[in-house]
Amino acid sequence: MKIAQGWLSAGTQLVSPNTDQRPDQADISLLVVHNISLPPEQFGGPYIGQLFSNCLDPNQHPYFADIADLKVSSHLLIDRLGNITQFVPFNQRAWHAGVSEFEGRSNCNDFSIGIEMEGADNIAYTDSQYDVLTAVTQVLLEAYPLMTAERIVGHRDIAPGRKTDPGPAFDWARYKSALS
């Protein structure tokens, strides 16, 4: 697995319109782990890709009526089977962090890469997801020297009180141990 022009060589590309230029491409220094499931706590289906592509049908599920108009994205999604979908090239800013702050610096989208794990706060992630997340992270750490293991956080860490993901079901010790 490698990165060329901001895209991973592995996985599927599904380009999101919810992206823009980073203020400084050389400043990529933070990795943010998220979770997402649409509808909540249900896995599979096209809905996450539809949300990040601005084509989620609000009539498909009652929950979708509240989120269908959101303009959000992430760089990557790792689904329950370990499949990767990339929505935004790493050298572009994805709209994943929202109002956020890390080490006194706001607007984490400016300097971070966001990876969505298909999951929910209290549902265990799969072995395949951990394996793929670890492999992707190792490629990112090599490609972006300002990003270190200490600069890998959950969404909850940069938006406390507003976000809880990836939640208590995410095994940080397992993930960090696999990186070393």
Residue 55 has pLDDT above 90, yes or no: yes
pLDDT category at 6 given cuts 50, 70, 90 is very high
Provide DSSP, 129-151.
HHHHHHHHHHHHHHH-TT--GGG
Compute the average pLDDT of residues 141-170: 96
Instruction: Report the distance separating Cα 1 and Cα 82, nearest Å.
Output: 14
Over residues 103-128, the pLDDT tens digits come to: 999 999 999 999 999 999 999 999 99
Average pLDDT (35-54) is 97
Per-residue pLDDT, 25: 85
pLDDT beyond 90 at 169 = yes
**Overall average pLDDT of the 28-36 stretch:** 98
Average pLDDT, the chain: 97
- In a 13 Å sphere around the CA of 161, the CA atoms on its Cβ side amount to 3
- Confidence (pLDDT) at 68: 95
| Beta-bridge partners for 112 | 30
Domain harbouring 58, CATH code:
3.40.80.10
Q: What is the rounded average pLDDT of the residues 17-41?
A: 96
Distance CA(6)–CA(9), nearest Å, equals 10
Please tell me the total count of domains within the chain: 1
**pLDDT class for 75, splitting at 50, 70, 90?**
very high
Q: Is the pLDDT of residue 129 over 90?
A: yes
For residue 180, pLDDT beyond 90: no
| Four-residue CA torsion sign, 116, 49, 61, 158 | positive
Walk across the sheet containing 112-118 and list its strands: 12-13, 84-86, 76-78, 112-118, 30-36, 152-154
Band of the pLDDT at 71, cuts 50, 70, 90? very high
Mean pLDDT of 64-79: 97
Q: Which residues are catalytic?
A: 116
The domain in which residue 98 lies consists of 3-179
